[in-house]
Structure 1
């Protein structure tokens, strides 16, 4: 499967609401990792807005050093940005990208939600994910790469779903090609970053929570029951824990950092 760069550039030009990032596209059939390839281009002088796109990764990486299975037929892309952001707030880039992509695809009739912190979910199964990497100097982010993987026509595990088959089952062809999906994902990243940097993190968080499938979920933390009530500006999960004494129920809110617990997926029988 090979991307048609002219078709992609035309779709991107036609579909963008604004030009917040000066996209420069670099398309490959296969790379070890789009993030890794883009960092190499940045070292050679690539500017913010540089994009690396592939339909296969041979050494894809997920969050917290996990392997990211990236078989042929998927969409794997990375975008270079140069945000003015404190290092402590770096997760806002992931929140912005997740919300932007999900809301953009929803406009195409894809009923996408977000599973905390960085998964894109369709019909309860994983459609894609986001890996943001940054370089820090004196407590400030100097460079960042936002990596995205979306299942298009590639094989997926039991907990995954691919968009081409889902659209066929829904008789929905709003996204008819990999080029159109790529255009929508890039436009989504752009709109998410624009929201973060122009409207602020509080507006972004409100929008993100509207798409978060975990809101109200009952979970267990250190053998205590709790309810998911939100996400902090740093990307931590807000959980309201309930403890009991002989007379009353005592509630307390705790914050859970990404990577310290897994909210998991159910295996589908489909």
Structure 2
């Protein structure tokens, strides 16, 4: 369970990279790395994650689920559900934006990066990185992100407490991860992701394996894929992809 071993750092290039080295050195499942600052914070698709000192929650956790390689993708919706519920427990109207973001008021407040290492087609270990914008002001974000990003402080008008957010996150994560280990499924996580889906009912365009798919976002499935209804009525299940465009359904 998360929090079995906690490592607090002043600064680091990337909590995910640091946690991966610990995992390679056989640190136990549940080890969590926190840092006040990241100099090379990473997101999906090779993007960077703005990690200003004292402004956010930057953490990575080591997991060792006893599952096959194809099950690795379910760790991201599980993590998204945990972040969403943690923020909702604290009074924020958080929403899950498939595949790995959390939104408040239509803007990004959190992102998740899951990196998995395999051995003989099994998960040797996974590192789940989570970044949450806590106390950023609008001026802290680059100009191109100011209309797309938010923080807990910007939403509530007063500073967020990192320890309080971390405790809620770990509590929710452990509850959902326990379900996965005991039952082999993430039904509760998927229910949360669908109940608080940012994309449901919206027209989306997703690039996936060289193809572009446009259609109505429906639900997140038990394997973490997104169901999209195309204009011709065909239902496509997208396991991963780059979300290029989202518009409200008409």
TM range (shorter): 0.7 to 0.9
2:24 is the counterpart of 1:40: no
Comparing 26-35 with 230-239, greater Cα deviation is found at 230-239
Query: Matches of 1:228 and 1:264 in 2, distance apart?
Result: 10
Alignment deviations for residues 97-133 of structure 1 (CA, whole Å, 9 cap, x no partner):
1101211221221111110111011111000110011
TM-score after normalising by structure 1: 0.79
Question: Relative to 1, partners in 2 of residues 1:263 and 1:205: Cα closer, same or farther, differing over 3 Å?
Answer: farther
Q: 1:232 to 1:23 in 2, by over 3 A?
A: same
Query: Quick check: 2:84–2:95 contact (8 Å CA) kept in 1?
Result: yes
- Structure 1: state its 5+ residue gaps: 1-19, 244-250
Secondary structure of 1:214 counterpart: coil
Aligned to 1:88: 70
| TM-score for the superposition, normalised by structure 2 | 0.85
Question: Partners in 2 of 1:121 and 1:215 — Cα distance?
Answer: 13
Tell me which protein shows more strand as a share of its residues. 2
2:126 matches 1:144: yes
Select between 149-158 and 221-230 the one with higher mean Cα deviation: 221-230
- The whole-number CA distance in structure 2 between the counterparts of 1:255 and 1:32 is 35
For structure 1, which segment, 215-224 or 192-201, has the greater mean C-alpha deviation from structure 2 after superposition?
A: 215-224
8 Å CA contact 1:89–1:233 kept in 2: the answer is: no
Instruction: Tell whether 2:178 aligns with 1:194.
Output: yes
Output aligned runs, 1:1-270, within 5 Å.
20-72=1-53, 73-154=55-136, 155-156=140-141, 157-158=145-146, 159-168=148-157, 176-199=160-183, 200-220=185-205, 226-243=215-232, 251-263=233-245
Count how many residue pairs are aligned between Structure 1 and Structure 2: 235
The 8 Å contact of residues 79 and 145 in structure 1, kept in 2 or not, is answered as: yes
Asked if 2 retains the 8 angstrom alpha-carbon contact of 1:111 and 1:122, the reply is: yes
Shift of 1:220: 4.4
Q: In structure 2, do the counterparts of structure 1 residues 91 and 179 end up closer, same or farther at CA, with 3 Å as the change threshold?
A: same
Relative distance call for 1:103 and 1:195 in structure 2 (3 A) is: farther
Residue 264 of structure 1, CA deviation: 5.6
Does the 8 Å contact 1:22/1:48 carry over to 2?
Answer: no
> 105-114 or 234-243, which moves further after superposition?
234-243
Output the CA distance in 2 between the equivalents of 1:45 and 1:238: 37
CA contact (8 A) 1:31 1:58 kept: yes
Structure 2: give runs of 5+ residues left out of the alignment.
none
Verify the 8 A CA contact 1:219 1:226 in the aligned structure 2: yes
Moved over 6 A (4+): 221-224
The Cα of 1:42 is off from its aligned counterpart by: 2.2
Deviations 1:121-154 (A, max 9, x none): 1111000110011111122111111100000113
Could you say which structure has the larger radius of gyration?
A: 1
Alpha-carbon spacing, 1:86–1:45, altered in 2? closer, same or farther (3 Å):
closer
